[in-house]
Chains A and B, each alone.
Chain A
């Protein structure tokens, strides 16, 4: 019920009452492009700041922070190649799909 309520309010008053939400906008754009999104988890306790993930990432997702450890700069650019996950010697990175059930729901409906 709350979901349907929110939908109706959004549809009836698109711009004037609520300003456009950047989050939903980008999400819808990405959905239009049918781009898969990934989540990057860094387990900082095990990270030894070797720099392999930062140097080899093809999409430049990470950048170096003051300690030399990876900081996630651009999470939407990740294309899920899992190079960093496979090459992290300390098992400190995990890559997961962000909305794994999104496409299944679409096909069902």
Chain B
């Protein structure tokens, strides 16, 4: 009866009671949600075997709109709740969606230790480079020299890169995409969900209302063009002169390592303990 996005919308979204959503016009969260449901459609997963957890922030509204098992948790603790669910019932696909402030500012320790533990979770981190919901304060990922409410005369701190942090912390799959490259993004999310082990998909998103308005990019089209110009594919990045890569970020799969995940190791330990 329906096809295209209409079909997905009827299949996976709580379209009859929660829409139109609360995000600002042109917000990247909607694009990420679209990419996520396309990835789920392509993986052909049952709705009941997916758990979708979120923390606080604009991205925390995301589980409200999808028709899976959903969980809206405390600030920065989406991964801890997801860890509990995955350990209680390992057959479920547990996906946590977080913002940049949620994942690496208040939940920074939870994030790096979840990556180190290598439990089979998928973390989608939407990086809009600012605290959008609370009024545009500078977050750990606000770039050097950008303006925000708490850095009105430009930011003197340097941003940190979430994907490289996850690689260093030992996640088995790390990828970065942008909302401009939405067709690539759903492939990255699909790979992240099907990967056995902790997988991180960092999504560079646009917040033209809080970040863009203070940095001369006050509409979504300008912000998406900014993302297009500043994203460098991982395969092509080495051919460019290094000076031109200073303010740019790489997109694509940054790490893809095969190693036993937490549940496999835990089963081995149980066997060992039973034998002795």
Interface string of A81-108 (1 = CB under 8 A from B): 0100111111101111000000000000
B6 in contact (CB, < 8 A): yes
A87 and B3 contact, CB distance less than 8 A: no
> Do A56 and B4 contact each other (CB < 8 Å), given the known contacts A89-B29, A91-B9, A91-B13?
no
CB contacts (< 8 Å) of B23 on chain A: these are 89
CB contacts (< 8 Å) of A49 on chain B: these are 25
A94 and B4 contact, CB distance less than 8 A: yes
CB contacts (< 8 Å) of A56 on chain B: these are 221, 224
From B13, B20, B219, A51 is in contact (CB under 8 Å) with B219
CB contacts (< 8 Å) of A41 on chain B: these are 6
Chain A residue nearest to B30 (CB atoms) is: A89
Could you give 26 example pairs across A and B, Cβ below 8 Å?
A43-B6, A46-B19, A46-B20, A48-B20, A48-B26, A52-B224, A56-B224, A85-B4, A86-B38, A86-B182, A87-B31, A87-B179, A87-B224, A88-B31, A89-B23, A89-B27, A89-B29, A89-B30, A89-B34, A90-B25, A90-B30, A91-B5, A91-B9, A94-B6, A95-B4, A96-B4
Interface residues of B in 208-251 (CB under 8 A from A): 219-221, 224
Interface string of B175-215 (1 = CB under 8 A from A): 00001101100000000000000000000000000000000
CB contacts (< 8 Å) of B42 on chain A: these are none
Interface residues of B in 89-104 (CB under 8 A from A): none
CB contacts (< 8 Å) of B28 on chain A: these are 89
B221 and A55 contact, CB distance less than 8 A: yes
A50 in contact (CB, < 8 A): yes
Nearest CB on B from A80, distance (A): 10
A45 in contact (CB, < 8 A): yes
Q: How many angstroms between the C-alpha atoms of A79 and B23 in the bound complex?
A: 30
> Do A89 and B26 contact each other (CB < 8 Å), given the known contacts A45-B20, A46-B19, A56-B221?
yes
CB contacts (< 8 Å) of B34 on chain A: these are 86, 88-89, 91
B21 in contact (CB, < 8 A): yes
Chain B residue nearest to A93 (CB atoms) is: B5
CB contacts (< 8 Å) of B221 on chain A: these are 51-52, 55-56
B138 in contact (CB, < 8 A): no
B167 in contact (CB, < 8 A): no
